[in-house]
Amino acid sequence: MGNSVRNILALAGKELRGYFSSPIGWVILGLFSILFAWFFNAFLNMFVQQSMQAQLGGGAQPMNINMFMIRNLLGNINIILLFVVPMMTMRTYSEEKRSGTIELLLTSPLTDLQIITGKFLGVMGFYAALVAVTLVDMSLLFVYGNPEIKPIIAGYIGVFLMGGCFVAIGLFISSLTKNQIVAGVGTFMVLLLLWIINWMAEGAGPTASAILSYLSITEHFDDFAKGVIDTKHIVYYLSVITFGLFLTAKSVDSERWRG
């Protein structure tokens, strides 16, 4: 058990260091930071303008910053991640296949489970670094305002769970091809489908509509953004993560047999 954990952490550390030792990792981090800062500034200006208009109009109660700004801001983080996560995961397996190092990895003492878990944790470590960048901007709201902390924590839990789904799907797509671009585009297309699948529910029957709405990855995030942690949403995200890693395990296992 101890060796297994050490192997997983060693591989996760190697994967995480790979992001910070290559230009692509810093490009992703910089791109994400700029986009989030732009959204943050846009929503903050909108909130300030609406607050001033409400006060001038004789509004008795100040506007709730969690409801009118932070909820929308957290939702837009996921839009950015829809584009950024495929860039993060596209190289995880495809680059190993292209360079031939996948054979060395598969013939090492590591089990498939250790490899997949290690890579997943490594990518999630870099994902955590991306999300941590947003805390710099968020902290300004506490310096100059008084937002509620609990809804923000719930929102970030949702962001991490959704990110885990994105990463698990990205790992699976990357394990299917040697081409990083194909892996990135393929991941984006699958994530986009899960993003808009609830749109198809509008013209479907009651049963189909319920199924499509449940499969929508964004439908399950709305409650987190509102500050509500519901176990059914947690189960959904953990199920998608598990299924994505299961498919990755099957793909890696087939690669081992072909090798």
DSSP 35-78: HHHHHHHHHHHHHHHHHHHHHHTT-SSPPPHIIIIIHHHHHHHH
DSSP 170-235: HHHHHTT-S-HHHHHHHHHHHHHHHHHGGGGGGGS-HHHHHHHHHH-TTTTTHHHHTT---HHHHH
Distance, in Å, from the CA atom of 165 to the CA atom of 194, rounded to the nearest integer, reads 11
Q: C-alpha 70: how far from its chain's center?
A: 18
Which pLDDT value is given to residue 257? 66
pLDDT digits (tens, 9 = 90+) for 63-89: 677 777 888 888 888 888 889 999 999
Per-residue pLDDT of the chain (259 residues; tens, 9 = 90+): 567 888 888 888 988 988 888 888 899 999 999 999 998 888 888 877 877 776 666 555 556 777 778 888 888 888 888 899 999 999 888 877 777 777 777 777 778 888 899 999 999 999 999 999 998 888 888 877 778 888 889 999 999 999 999 999 999 999 898 889 999 999 999 999 988 887 776 666 777 778 878 888 888 888 888 888 889 999 999 999 999 999 998 888 776 666 5
Q: Which two tokens stand for residue 191?
A: 């994530």
Cβ(127)–Cβ(159) under 8 Å? Answer: no
- Sequence-distant (6+) residues with CB within 8 A of 116 are 171, 245, 248, 249, 252
What ranges do the domains of the chain cover?
A: 2-258
In 3D, which of 165, 77, 155, 157 has the Cα closest to residue 120?
Answer: 165
pLDDT digits (tens, 9 = 90+) for 156-186: 999 999 999 999 999 999 989 888 999 999 9
Classify residue 100 by its DSSP letter: T
Q: Which two tokens stand for residue 221?
A: 């995030």
Instruction: Output Rg (C-alpha) for the chain, integer angstroms.
Output: 20
Distance, in Å, from the CA atom of 15 to the CA atom of 17, rounded to the nearest integer, reads 6
Distance, in Å, from the CA atom of 148 to the CA atom of 150, rounded to the nearest integer, reads 6
